[in-house]
Amino acid sequence: MKDFKDKIVVITGAGSGMGRAYAMAFAKLGAKLALNDYDAKALDETVRLLPPGMAKRVTSLAFDVADKVAMYGFADQVSATLGKAHVVVNNAGIEGAVQPTWRTSEEDYERIMRINFFGVLHGTKAFLPQLLANREGAIVNVSSIFGLIGTPNSSDYCASKFAVRGFTEALMVELHDSPISVHLVHPGGIATNIARRPEGQAFAKQYLTTPPEDIVEYVIKGIRQKRVKIVYGRDAWRTWLGSNLLPQRWLNAIVSRELKRTYDPSAYNVLR
C-alpha cells in the first residue's frame, strides 16, 4: 500500500508516544483514523491535536486491548462509522516489572502477556476480516529490540515481545500470497513514557532518546516498500546485528554489562 488518502487506519495505544505520532502522521497523509488507548484523557488529547477538519474522519474508543470483547466491539464501531479498515497498527504496550525473574510474580507475567501479546492478537484477528474484505491492507505489529535479545530485569517484557515476533512471523507466511502485507517492527530506544516505574527511570533517561516521529516516518516508508521487518531507533541495528551474528554467551555478557549500568547491581545476586 502506497497511498493512504481516505484509507482507514486503526492505531492502538494512540494516547501518547509512538501511537500519537502514528495518528498525526497518517492524518497528514489524508487517512481516516480509528484510535484506541486505555487512558481516555490522553486519547482525547490526541484527537484534539489532529489537524483541522478531522472531526468526521476519526473515531476513538478508550479500552484495554487485553479485553477481547472490547476489541471486537471497536472493530464493529469502526466499520459502522468509517468503513472497513485498511491498516492496523497494533502499537499498545506496557513496561514489565523491571525485576529479575525470581522477583517477578506470575501475575506480572500474565498481565504483560495479556496486553503486549494478546492485545496484538485481538487487534489482528478483529480487523483482519475487514482488510481481507477490502482486498488490500497492512498489519503492523510492534515488538521491540527486546524481542530480538533477552535482557536482564526484563524476562516478562522480553517474553511478550518475543511472542509478538513469533506470531507475526507466522502470520507473514500465512498471508504471503494475499493482498495483505504484514510488518514486524522492532523499535530501539524510542522517547516515550512507557518506563513509568522508578526502577526503569535511569534506563529510560539514558536509552529512550529517538523521537517517536522518526520511527513512525520510517515505518510508513516500510509499509510502502512492503518491508516485512522494520528495525529502527537507538541501538536497534546494533542489537539486530548482535542477535544474528554473535554467539549467545558473548551476547549475554555484552548486554548484561551494558544494562547493569542503569540498574541496581544487587538485583542480579540471586542469594540476596
Catalytic residue numbers? 157
CA 234 – CA 8 distance, rounded (Å)? 30
CA 76 – CA 30 distance, rounded (Å)? 22
CA 84 – CA 191 distance, rounded (Å)? 32
CA 257 – CA 152 distance, rounded (Å)? 10
Question: Which of 156, 155, 185 lies closest to 22 in space, CA to CA?
Answer: 185
CA 93 – CA 37 distance, rounded (Å)? 10
What CA–CA distances, in Å, run from 218 to 25, 33, 37, 44, 225?
Answer: 11, 19, 22, 26, 11
Which residues lie across from 187 on neighbouring strands? 232
Q: What is the largest CA-CA distance in the chain?
A: 60
DSSP 8-state assignment for residue 59: E
Which residues lie across from 36 on neighbouring strands? 61
CA 31 – CA 27 distance, rounded (Å)? 5
CB of 36 closer than 8 Å to CB of 115: no
How is residue 46 written as a grid cell? 490526541
Question: Which of 47, 17, 241 lies closest to 142 in space, CA to CA?
Answer: 17
